[in-house]
Amino acid sequence: QVQLVESGGGLVQAGGSLRLSCAASGSTFSINGIGWYRQAPGKQRELVAFIRGGSRPVYADSVKGRFTISRDNAKNAVYLQMNSLKPEDTAVYYCNANGSPYVYWGQGTQVTVSS
């Protein structure tokens, strides 16, 4: 089992920045990929950014050039630096980890961007 706890969400004006953190605990050795999804009201959950193994990170087109995902294996943590935030980035952001065959989710953290 893997437990994921997000932090760092909040309210920010358009153009501002936030940094989300996700701390993993438990059987972290089983994780082969970790990243972030988001879900806005009335919309499906969507991929934001993901790191798998030693591969290059994958980003949603809507956040490329603005968001950066990073991973600290020593701390069992993953981060999402979000710059140039837009109102359409408003959503609950979820940390996600894959440890085949299992998929783990955090409880989510709210990000609200005001115009």
In 3D space, the residue among 87, 66, 82, 64 whose CA is nearest the CA of residue 21 turns out to be: 82
Q: Please report where in the chains the tokens 């089992």 appear, as a residue.
A: 1
Query: Would you state the pLDDT for residue 98?
Result: 93
Query: Would you state the pLDDT for residue 30?
Result: 85
> What tokens were used for 103?
């998929």
Model confidence over 69-87: pLDDT tens digits?
A: 999 989 999 999 999 999 9
Name 44's Cβ contacts closer than 8 Å, sequence gap at least 6. none
Higher pLDDT, 111 or 100: 111
Model confidence over 23-73: pLDDT tens digits?
A: 999 888 888 999 999 999 999 999 999 999 888 999 999 999 999 999 998
C-alpha to C-alpha distances, 110 to 55, 92, 106, nearest whole angstrom: 28, 4, 12
Query: Would you state the pLDDT for residue 81?
Result: 98
Q: Residue 50 carries which DSSP code?
A: E
